Chains A and B, each alone.
Chain A
């Protein structure tokens, strides 16, 4: 993955980082209603002879729809399938994609003939995805998820689409609690399987190696996005908590490897909370820093934090990894800035650890660092995770491991402390403060719980009314075309009900909830409004970036900083780098 590409994920400023494109997958409809030979059967047994019956659940997608229907009705059928998407929405999306394609062509033509300076105007005039297009046009290997979805739309690729949907549905529907290892194997097996199928069906069959790689990369993104709630440990864990609340009699044996990640993340944050505020640069033997530098360091932290925060928002391992690499790159930019010549692991590692320790502890639920690192490590396909990517992922894991293992017995081995008594006093002070805040928090939680219950009740009533009126099935887009009765039994319908009715703990899930609710209410804004929104978001992020840059380089003229920023296609990391080179 090249760094020019980071743009693509860096500048996705919508609230749902991945959802925009993923949604259009749900709208891909298999035209051929016969399913024969195109289910994928998940199987975890080493020995194929010993397949257990329960694991061979075959999803019969379109059972109710064996009758051929005229084409005009196709789109409407989606609604009956349980896809909670209205006709209007589909059409709008289709139009959006056409607009996108056209813009893309226009943009690419224009870019060849225009100077960098006028790129700004192009961005202003086009809005949707314009930034992405500009940045992509500079790179040779482009990660292009949309074109992958377009390939899937090809009638000849229908078997691929069916296998994929079948796989996703089976994993989502299965009420088994998979271990991390099992999930890794399920997905890898499916990837192996589907890549073999790529060689059989057009358009994949005829692709060159680059395009095929893009499709493999995109397939990973698609699968991990769809299965996110089941494979990302913290969300999976929350799901198990909710399930056991709903059915107190049912014992859930939550997989130990997932649980370990969740618990370790909690421990990590407890350590960051405890040690983060009292650790100084000297404790990690980071020298070369005058006070001016330390001040600048704080400003770099902002950018570093933001990348890691983004890492929590994206769903696919690929996108998360881009954010992680960006954050590492920021550390090197800083080292370069303070005149460190070597820029080696001896310099990098301490500053990485220091930076993670300085993450805002109050915001811990936005960063599931250990879970995320392990998620990337396991679900990023091996041939995409090598060399540099692999090295920095490992260094990040190393830094987290270092912090995770911190305790009061080993702290003087791990940190260089001259005045141990002073350090211990400070630590005790900090611990006292944490306990006090915790008590206060617990009180607040009690209060909130009460309010939540009231709120839930209202929502439940509202939802029931809606359901009986419209007969709609939230989140059933997961299921392609399964019938509502099947869904009732499935774990996922329970899940979807859950997230439509409860206010969830993570922001991510909240967004899912909002999304579902907004779909139910059918209050999607018009095409123009969406475009405006996106433009606003782009402007908003631009303002944020510029203000960080201004903080970071107060000595520079704002106009100059802005010019460089625009010249670097609004990529903040690249901007910082080129300013540093100038200084």
Chain B
């Protein structure tokens, strides 16, 4: 199975974890692999391969990060080698978009120009604004403009009422799968036939292995 590492970023009050909990719990195949706690979750989704028409399963390994400002310096350890990032803000908190923007900028800067990490900007707590539009602090356009400008996916969702949650992951999954297939074709033309499986290995190894990691 193809695996992708996805990191969750956002301030502690924006409800980033509840997005994932909602996503993981709502799926038919509740993954039992998380044996320790909910900071790390994994979930498998199914996609349709456009070329072959076959169904493919891909697995997300979802890395939650501590959103408090004081742990910000630890974030690079988490997002290193990720295939995708979800940056969350709170539609009802005026400050939270600017914090999300900081995360996006940091990601882009630290991961470098030629990284292919897919970033999705998510405005959460849509349910509150639907109930009472006056509580909305950040307009749809504000979020969308920033997303378009920076080439990000963008959605407004509600983890509480399960609005738009699955789509976030479906979209990222499809995009990652496309990327994966392109890489595989590239690799097999570069190395000749029969080596196409090797790109899989790289994708399956999100963990750090070099002794230059932050702690050494």
Contacts and interface: CB of A to CB of B under 8 A. Distances in A.
A285 B215 CA distance: 24
B36 A388 contact: yes
B27 interface: no
A398 B77 contact: yes
A180 B216 CA distance: 10
A386 B211 contact: no
A332 interface: yes
B35 A401 contact: no
B35 A388 contact: yes
Interface in B30-74: 33-40, 42, 61, 63-68, 70-71, 73-74
Given A343-B37, A345-B39, A397 B206 contact: no
A391 B90 CA distance: 26
A374 B216 contact: yes
Interface residues on A, range: 35 or more
B153 interface: no
Interface residues on B, range: 35 or more
Nearest to A388: B40
B105 interface: no
A128 interface: no
Nearest to B207: A390
A401 to B, nearest CB: 6
B214 interface: yes
A184 B35 CA distance: 29
Contacts of B63: 391
A382 B35 CA distance: 20
A70 to B, nearest CB: 49
Contacts of B71: 349, 398, 402
B205 interface: yes
Nearest to A332: B37
A206 B68 CA distance: 52
A260 B216 contact: yes
A350 interface: yes
The B interface is mostly helix, strand or loop, or mixed, namely: loop
A387 B38 CA distance: 13
A261 interface: yes
A277 B207 CA distance: 34
B124 interface: no
B78 interface: yes
Contacts of B3: 387
B192 to A, nearest CB: 21
A329 B65 contact: no
Interface string B183-213: 0000000000000000000001111110101
A488 interface: no
A350 B207 contact: no
A2 B77 contact: no
Interface in B57-111: 61, 63-68, 70-71, 73-74, 77-78
A358 B13 CA distance: 27
B139 interface: no
Nearest to A392: B36
Contacts of B68: 285, 346, 349-350
Contact of A374 (B39, B204, B211): B211
Contact of B206 (A257, A390, A392, A395): A390
A343 B211 CA distance: 30
A370 B39 contact: no
B148 to A, nearest CB: 29
A70 B12 CA distance: 73
A402 B40 contact: no
B17 A329 contact: no
Contacts of B17: 342, 344-346
Contact of A388 (B21, B34, B70, B214): B34
B205 A395 contact: no
A377 B209 CA distance: 6
Given A388-B33, A405-B73, A413-B70, A343 B213 contact: no
A68 B74 CA distance: 62
Contact of A397 (B39, B70, B215): B215
B179 interface: no
Given A378-B209, A382-B205, A329 B36 contact: yes
B65 A345 contact: yes
B18 interface: yes
Interface string A322-333: 000100110110
B88 to A, nearest CB: 12
A134 interface: no
A386 B215 contact: no
Contacts of A382: 205, 207, 209
B97 to A, nearest CB: 19
A177 interface: no
A332 B36 contact: yes
B40 A391 contact: yes
A149 interface: no
A423 interface: no
A413 to B, nearest CB: 7
A7 to B, nearest CB: 14
Rank and list the top 3 A-B pairs by shortest CB-CB distance, nearest first.
Answer: A332-B37, A344-B17, A390-B207
Interface of A: 2-3, 180-181, 184, 257, 260-261, 264, 285, 325, 328-329, 331-332, 335, 342-346, 348-350, 370, 373-374, 377-378, 382-383, 385-388, 390-395, 397-398, 400-402, 404-405, 413-416
Given A343-B39, A391-B61, A402-B74, 14 more contacts: A180-B211, A257-B216, A332-B36, A343-B38, A349-B74, A374-B213, A383-B205, A386-B61, A386-B206, A397-B215, A398-B214, A402-B71, A402-B73, A404-B215
12 contacts: A342-B38, A344-B38, A345-B65, A345-B66, A346-B64, A349-B68, A377-B213, A392-B36, A395-B39, A400-B215, A401-B73, A402-B74
